[in-house]
Structure 1
């Protein structure tokens, strides 16, 4: 991450600490406080310690700072650095970083972990309560809502991810939310969070409400100086692990890493799905092989047996027992 306030704490001893790649405010600050050689040293040390590095790159990151990340990767000539673009509100990005940090302590391969950075945002329900939507450009605002925002005392509840939704905050306001168990993280600045911690938490059936510091970038992202940002997330690392493991995995043909998705995020090579194994020939007219059992093939079928397991829908070929 590029800011320390996007790093949320994790239970001690469960995962390695996240690495912060400080973002310079301008070129002078870059030369003075975080020159290129210092960032190279930090990234190189992280690679030596952990082996691989998954860097979450916010979509709002200025082009100059984005180029700096690519420069660091190019100078180190390392295919062990994955730069993953993340188009999420700041609090959701911080929660995604926390989830990935927890998953670092599991048996997931680096390529799978990097792919999880693109999978898990679909399970983050994030939004904010705003007293004005005049400067909100992250969610489509119709003319009626835009005019209502000029009425003194008006407030709006906005969901930005996974599907945009805007509603005027009234006693009957309802927001589309998750249909699975979550915790609700809430960060506020200048507005009371009572509706989020109370009504919204009950609507979404959140098991717990956690107050967290509001990231500094949130006011700019939402176009408001006063807001309450919230995000429902899966807190259990076992559930996250099962979710990621349930996705199909393929080996990258270039670097060999196990990945999920259509592209390896470390070497940028396109990943072609592994072709299913062709079943061995079976004598026409023979009875189907029961699940979990094996049988000899008929004449001309070759020295192999065909079995079908309950956990794999593809046929598996094994040696013939004699």
Structure 2
């Protein structure tokens, strides 16, 4: 079943009419649309997406809110596009966005944390950011971390094989390409364009954003297919997680039979929230 994956940013905003037309065209061409959106309900991009969905009465459009930084959100969209070429259906792909987000380690090397509001920033860090030449290592996902960039003190990284993407030229990226890449046992360094909303997200244009991610589509497929699937009792899509992200039905809530498919025997129970499958640790 064809599915298109999109990632939203402020500069991709079109007029409402144009966005409705393009979304309608994507639905006609691909059948289903999965949109990775900012987590903040008040975010103007996310609010516009919900308006478009309502205007089209589109239960084939899933809006997946995520707290990921811009580069991580972009790479997650890339992973889902890879998986869209497999036999995974749209309901599973939408749920996979939340599952695979667990495996992204994302942060930035910043020249200032004076306007950073995504992770806790102490008064001392605010003061030190006023001193020229100071660089700060910040991890926003999966756990917050902030310290001055130091080769001897590094944020915790993934315990499995990843590649490391970096974007931006606002500061010297040597701490990322050297000590961090070595400590995280990165298999490959990849430079990509800086997402347009990165400076706003991190509170400064003096930055290099980085994300460790799984690049092997086979491993991604294994992670997604290791999670139990259920059939949505309302729209009939196969899903993972405790909610269908297309029709918003929570598994087990509605007794109404599916419109397009019956619930398979033995799968009437409510589905659990996806748990992170165990990955083999990298070999040292």
The TM-score range, normalised by the shorter chain, is 0.7 to 0.9
1:192-237 alpha-carbon deviations (Å, 9 max, x no partner): 1111011111100010000111112111111112111100000011
1:31-58 alpha-carbon deviations (Å, 9 max, x no partner): xxx4433222211111122111101112
Counterpart selection for 1:261 from 233, 241, 247? 241
Equivalent residues of 1:189, 1:225 under 8 A apart: no
Alignment partner, residue 65 of structure 1: 45
User: Per-residue deviation at 1:77?
Assistant: 1.7
Larger Rg: 1
| Runs of 4+ displaced beyond 6 Å | none
Pick closer, same or farther for the CA change 1:23–1:198 going to 2, 3 Å. Answer: closer
- The normalised TM-score by structure 1 is 0.73
Counterpart selection for 2:224 from 224, 237, 244? 244
Counterpart selection for 1:91 from 71, 75, 91? 71
Pick closer, same or farther for the CA change 1:124–1:43 going to 2, 3 Å. Answer: same
Matches within 5 A, 1:110-121: 110-121=90-101
Q: With a CA cutoff of 8 Å and minimum separation of 6, indicate the structure with the bigger relative contact order.
A: 2
Separation of aligned partners in 1, 2:193 and 2:224:
28
Pick closer, same or farther for the CA change 1:270–1:17 going to 2, 3 Å. Answer: closer
Separation of aligned partners in 2, 1:116 and 1:122:
10
User: Per-residue deviation at 1:21?
Assistant: 6.7
Aligned length: 255
Separation of aligned partners in 2, 1:195 and 1:76:
47
Residue 174 in structure 1 maps to residue 160 in structure 2? no
User: Per-residue deviation at 1:71?
Assistant: 2.1
Equivalent residues of 1:24, 1:65 under 8 A apart: no
Separation of aligned partners in 1, 2:169 and 2:51:
36
Pick closer, same or farther for the CA change 1:132–1:111 going to 2, 3 Å. Answer: same
Equivalent residues of 2:106, 2:141 under 8 A apart: yes
Pick closer, same or farther for the CA change 1:198–1:146 going to 2, 3 Å. Answer: same
Equivalent residues of 2:3, 2:32 under 8 A apart: no
SS of match in other structure, 1:83: strand
SS of match in other structure, 2:181: helix
User: Per-residue deviation at 1:146?
Assistant: 2.7
Alignment partner, residue 30 of structure 2: 50
Separation of aligned partners in 2, 1:130 and 1:21:
23
Separation of aligned partners in 2, 1:18 and 1:83:
10
Alignment partner, residue 313 of structure 1: none
Pick closer, same or farther for the CA change 1:258–1:50 going to 2, 3 Å. Answer: same
User: Per-residue deviation at 1:66?
Assistant: 2.8
Matches within 5 A, 1:1-322: 18-19=5-6, 34-59=14-39, 63-272=43-252, 274-275=268-269
Separation of aligned partners in 1, 2:155 and 2:9:
35
TM-align CA RMSD: 2.3
Separation of aligned partners in 1, 2:99 and 2:9:
26
Equivalent residues of 1:46, 1:53 under 8 A apart: yes
User: Per-residue deviation at 1:16?
Assistant: 7.8
Separation of aligned partners in 1, 2:140 and 2:164:
15
Alignment partner, residue 304 of structure 1: none
Pick closer, same or farther for the CA change 1:74–1:105 going to 2, 3 Å. Answer: same
Equivalent residues of 2:8, 2:45 under 8 A apart: no
Equivalent residues of 1:128, 1:157 under 8 A apart: yes
